[in-house]
Amino acid sequence: MSIFRNIVKNMVVLLAAGMLFSTSVQADVVGSTAPDFTLKSRSGENVKLSELRGEVVMINFWASWCAPCRQEMPLLEDIYKKYSDLGFVLLGVNVEEDSSKAADLLREIPVSFPILYDNTNEVTKLYKVVAMPSTVMVDRNGTVRYLHRGYLPGYEEEYIKQIKELIKE
**Distance between CA atoms of residues 59 and 125, nearest Å:** 14
Per-residue pLDDT tens over the stretch 21-59: 333 344 567 899 999 999 999 999 999 999 999 999 999
The whole-number pLDDT of residue 2 equals 52
User: CB-based contacts of 56: which residues, under 8 Å, 6+ apart?
Assistant: 87, 88, 89, 137, 138, 139, 140, 163, 166, 167
Mean pLDDT on 101-127: 96
- What's the whole-number average pLDDT of the chain? 87
* % of the chain residues with pLDDT over 90: 82
Cβ contact 43:113 at 8 Å: no
Smallest CA-to-CA distance from 105 within 76, 134, 131, 125 is with 76
**pTM of the full structure:** 0.83
Per-residue pLDDT tens over the stretch 62-102: 999 999 999 999 999 999 999 999 999 999 999 999 999 99
